[in-house]
Structure 1
């Protein structure tokens, strides 16, 4: 079924654990182009797309028992994690299998206490323990990855480059703490860091700072989104979409920089169209290796 060496080896039927947003649907459509018929696990209270054209079921994010039974029934061998999950499960939500209970009983507290990357690493281990391989979404949908350089007609200026450098350093340090993936710099000064509230809420804070004249410059600044140092790339890659561009403009920013090859651009054509319409740049960058290594120490 695989058409070329660039297509990942997919064991059994492919499944997608679908959270919030358009991303899972884009991955499912890409899988169909590869000749697969993906099964969709719609995560309760998160999945918000129309999945009527796919085999699917709704499942609690911590219901491993139902997941394992469906894996056996549908002959699923590979799983992709895609989409946002706003609510973390607690122990009351947990429906383990005997296999997962024996292997990970002492570690399930990670659901309540760990940072996002640690929690996702643990979730991947649990899924793999149930006998499936966990693939990165970008292995199935590589066209979603951003590339080096400007996506549209606007490119960053020399001033913007200084903001990109400052925000990149802040984003890497923030990621090292397993807190967030984004930062905003204005005139070389880091003025906002992404927390649990996400990118859009951070940009809203920047807009509020501008409206209250807490920032000396009425316009300018850059949003940078990077992978966390050492991040498992099979889940939670940084991403942007048309709303990110619109919100960055509302915050008075000059543009957005994302990590080339390790960040997702959802609805690329719309992203480029909105950026060009609003006069913002969207560009792919490669963090300096020494900065990444320093964060990993």
Structure 2
């Protein structure tokens, strides 16, 4: 069995590559133009660079490499998808059949298209079990009552925005919403919340 990786930005793809190598597996990597760190060329066993909408080229590469299971790791900025990306015919067909174009639908559509070509999309943590956080308190102290209140409030809002597929992250201060993640992504909303609150915030 040979594995493939669709790599977005950040360090996450490099963790996957390192985990695969420690498990004695090689990875064939699809790197996204204007997203994936160029260091990927030195880290991966084989790499092809594609535009954000070139689903057909991704599939052709994986088939050529003999890949049967693929992971996705690293963020791809949503604004790229809506900023003049030129999709190929495979991507156009996939988008046309989606009931909506939110994150879950897009990933589901990609998974269905890969599956139709004999390629399975698997969990991105497949080689990362050592990196997963255990359940429980990971800091030196437990949250105080004020922080617990922020966490409980934030969790309710985070669950709701996730249900609506608006995002997954919320910033809270004094049980009030400071910032909600949307298309800009998690890192950007945390930075924005810090600028707005100018003090302690709770991220959920």
State the TM-score, normalized to the length of structure 2.
0.87
Gap change, CA 1:223 and 1:75, over 3 Å in 2: same
CA distance in 1, matches of 2:157, 2:54: 36
Matched, 1:68 2:59: yes
Runs of 4+ residues deviating >3 angstroms: 89-92
Per the TM alignment, residue 206 of structure 1 is displaced from its structure 2 partner at its CA by 2.4
**Stretches of structure 2 lacking an aligned partner (at least 5 in a row):** none
Which residue of 1 is the match for residue 26 of structure 2? 37
Which residue of 1 is the match for residue 132 of structure 2? 145
Per the TM alignment, residue 49 of structure 1 is displaced from its structure 2 partner at its CA by 4.5
Matched, 1:22 2:15: no
May I ask how many residue pairs the two structures share in their alignment? 200
Which residue of 2 is the match for residue 275 of structure 1? none
CA distance in 1, matches of 2:191, 2:57: 39
User: Cα deviation per residue 1:204-223 (whole Å; 9 max; x = unaligned)?
Assistant: 33233334xxxxxxx44311
Gap change, CA 1:157 and 1:88, over 3 Å in 2: same
The DSSP-based 3-state class of the residue aligned with 1:156 is coil
1:65 touches 1:95 (CA, 8 Å); kept in 2? yes
RMSD: 2.4
Gap change, CA 1:156 and 1:92, over 3 Å in 2: closer
User: Cα deviation per residue 1:144-197 (whole Å; 9 max; x = unaligned)?
Assistant: 322222223233112111110000000000001101001122222223211111
Per the TM alignment, residue 91 of structure 1 is displaced from its structure 2 partner at its CA by 8.6
State the TM-score, normalized to the length of structure 1.
0.61
Which residue of 1 is the match for residue 173 of structure 2? 186
**Stretches of structure 1 lacking an aligned partner (at least 5 in a row):** 1-11, 212-218, 225-297
Which residue of 1 is the match for residue 87 of structure 2? 94
2:17 touches 2:43 (CA, 8 Å); kept in 1? no
Which residue of 1 is the match for residue 158 of structure 2? 171
